[in-house]
Amino acid sequence: MFLTILHAKAESAGREAIAVDPRNTSRTCPNCGHVSKENRPTQEKFHCQSCGHNAHADTVGATNV
């Protein structure tokens, strides 16, 4: 129901709503693409084990979406 309303609202505003699989969005490095649960040492911290990129996990998830 929510997605139906969201798509209708987006269409009426001349926009497109795109569904994104949220799986691993906050475990994937936006710099190098490395995916690992170790990239999330805590609920709020992100530290890429491959390239060393550091950021807030919510920011990383939002960037990847």
Tens digits of residue pLDDT in 2-31? 999 999 999 999 999 998 999 999 999 999
**Model pLDDT, residue 11:** 96
Q: ∠ at Cα 25 (19, 30), nearest 5°?
A: 115
Domain that holds residue 54: 20-64
- Once rounded to an integer, what is the mean pLDDT over residues 28-47? 97
Asked if residue 6 belongs to a domain, the reply is no
Q: What is the pLDDT of residue 4?
A: 93
Does residue 35 fall inside a structural domain? yes
Rounded to an integer, the average pLDDT of 33-53 is: 97
Residue 9 lies in a domain: no
5 in any annotated domain? no
Indicate whether 28 belongs to any domain: yes
Given phi > 0 = left and psi -120 to 50 = alpha, else beta, which region is 59? alpha
Domain count, the chain: 1
Model confidence, pTM: 0.76
